[in-house]
Chains A and B, each alone.
Chain A
Amino acid sequence: MPFVLSVSPDFTPKHIAGWYVFNTWLQRQTELAFHVELYNSFIKQREAIAADEIDLIYANPYDAAMLVREKGFVALAAPLNKADEAVIVCNNNYPIDAIENLQTDLSIVTTDDPDVHLMGMMMLEPADLNADNTNIQEKDSYVLVAKQLLQQKADIGFFLKEAYYDLSALIRDELRVLIASEIFVIRHILLAGPKLQQHHQQLESLLVNMQDNPKGADVLKTMGLRGWETQTQEDTEFMIDLMDTL
């Protein structure tokens, strides 16, 4: 039975192929069998985690608590210089330019990306807005979030900052950023499950040295990553604690 590698469903579409390339690279380096399994929703992926079907996962920080505290996963590494930040965006014609001026019954368009949604809602707090006094619609992708804003079918939208700046300049010209998070410490992490325990050290050292090896550096490029850095158990616990306060 191969080990199963999965990626948080919020991966950027243009980097899907990169994860398959990574999988091949990993198998060559470790001589272990890995198989990529992707899910199109967080709910589906959580079901697979609950059923112990995943061994290695590039996880959304929101899911890290459950993976570490309930499923015995351990962080192997974190992507270099790649924090998850959220932006709240509106149509250029939207008459409000400060969060504090947003009013109740606001319509929000978001995705099922859990950490971005959490950060987005947190940034609405200065206007006393929350899930009870706003209307939230969920879309399958950031492109669809942008579409709702362009068509003025929602007041504001939540984006992963990176996904927002991946939209074409033409689209962004019609939109405006109301606020951007600068949290710095919330990021995806690569976690290994209990079945991989005896290989943790080997995997960890392979990952942190990946960018120094020409082949490894090429693989990283296709994944849209610069490299990996060590993520200690305490780094992970700290991030989980921080998520817990949001």
Chain B
Amino acid sequence: METIDFQLITYLERNIDMKLHYYDGTDRVINIIDQEEPFPDGRLIVSRTDTMGILTHCNQSFIDMSGYTEEELIGKNHYILRHPDMPAAAFKGLWSTVKEGGKWDGYVKNLRKDGSYYWVHAVVIPNVRNGNIVGYTSVRRKPSRKKINQCISLYAEMLAEEG
């Protein structure tokens, strides 16, 4: 996805202030906390974006888990949830799949406003109306601990390769 260029400038160790630089020139400093927020039982975390990945809709679970208010979320790029432990390659696969009209699913570690995180099993699909992709929907559910553990090591390797 060429429009989104998430760059990590300083990420030296855990529980430190990190400056996250975004493709649009903005940046923010966030204290990354190694603390997991459990996925709420029985719920789905739902969001929709336009074709560029800008949030157009999110449900209450999305708001609760992200730690932001709805006003802070709508109109923002989805990378507002991007956690520095997530390899870029994961999202490349997401975008190339859904842009071609396919369904993508994967495990994602998301960043909360307060710097803590939550794991999801995400499914992303294109919203096809009259034959055209008009946006995307993501529905996230509770992942198994086994899958999370597999992803922790996989993503660490991928990140190391990305350098």
User: Nearest B residue to A184 by beta-carbon distance?
Assistant: B59
Pairwise interchain contact B137-A182, C-beta atoms closer than 8 A: no
CB of A241 within 8 A of CB of B143, answer no
- Find out whether the CB atom of A237 lies under 8 angstroms from the CB atom of B146: no
* Stretch of B1-9, B36-44, B78-86 lying at the A interface: B36-44
Check A237/B43 contact, CB under 8 A, given A128-B147, A242-B137.
Answer: no
Q: Which of A128, A179, A182 contacts B146 (CB 8 A)?
A: A128
Q: What residues of chain B have their CB less than 8 Å away from a CB belonging to chain A?
A: 39-44, 46, 48, 59, 103, 121, 123-125, 127, 129, 137-139, 141-147
Pair A126/B103 contact, Cβ less than 8 Å: no
Could you tell me how many residues of chain A have their Cβ less than 8 Å away from some Cβ of chain B? 22
Given the known inter-chain contacts A126-B142, A128-B146, please indicate yes or no for A245 contacting B41, CB distance below 8 A: no
Does chain B have a CB within 8 A of A144? no
Query: In the assembled complex, which residues on chain A have CB atoms less than 8 Å from the CB atom of B42?
Result: 123, 179-183
Q: Cβ of A66 < 8 Å from any Cβ of B? A: no
CA distance A101 to B155 in the complex (A): 26
Contact B144 A241 (CB under 8 A): no
Measured CB to CB, the nearest residue on chain B to A123 is B42
Out of A122, A126, A182, name the residue touching B144 (CB < 8 Å): A126
Q: A125-B121, A183-B44 are in contact. Are A241 and B142 (CB under 8 A)?
A: no
Considering the chains assembled together, what is the distance between the CA atoms of A227 and B145 in angstroms? 42
- Which residue of B is nearest A85, CB measured? B42
A-side residues, CB < 8 A to B, are: 99-100, 122-123, 125-128, 179-185, 237-238, 241-242, 244-246
- Bound state CA distance, A245 and B140, in angstroms? 9
State whether A100 and B145 are in contact (beta carbons under 8 Å apart), knowing that A237-B129, A242-B137, A245-B137 are contacts in the complex: yes
Which residues of chain B are within 8 angstroms of A180 by Cβ–Cβ distance? 42
Chain B min CB distance to A182 (Å)? 5
Q: Is the CB of A241 within 8 A of B125?
A: yes
- Docked complex Cα distance between A38 and B43 (Å): 33
Q: Is the CB of B125 within 8 A of A245?
A: yes
**Who on chain A is nearest to B43 by CB?**
A182
Q: How many angstroms between the C-alpha atoms of A181 and B43 in the bound complex?
A: 6
Which chain B residues border A183 with CB–CB below 8 Å?
A: 42-44
Contact B41 A242 (CB under 8 A): no
* A245–B103 CB distance below 8 A: yes
Write the chain B residue with the least CB distance to A86: B42
Residues of B within 8 A of A99 (CB): 41
Expressed in whole angstroms, the Cα–Cα distance for A242 and B48 within the complex equals 10
For B137, give its contact among A123, A181, A184, A238 (CB under 8 Å): A238
Partner of A244, one of B44, B125, B129: B125
Contact assessment for B127 and A241 in the assembled complex, using a CB-CB cutoff below 8 Å: yes
Pairs A–B under 8 Å by Cβ, sample size 5? A125-B144, A127-B144, A128-B144, A184-B59, A245-B139
Partner of A245, one of B123, B145, B147: B123
Q: Which residue of B lies closest to A87 (CB)?
A: B42
What is the bound-complex CA distance between A241 and B146, given in angstroms? 28
Whether A122 lies near B141 (C-beta < 8 A) is yes
Taking the closest CB of chain A, its distance from the CB of B39, in whole angstroms, is: 8
| B127 in contact with A237 (CB, 8 Å) | yes
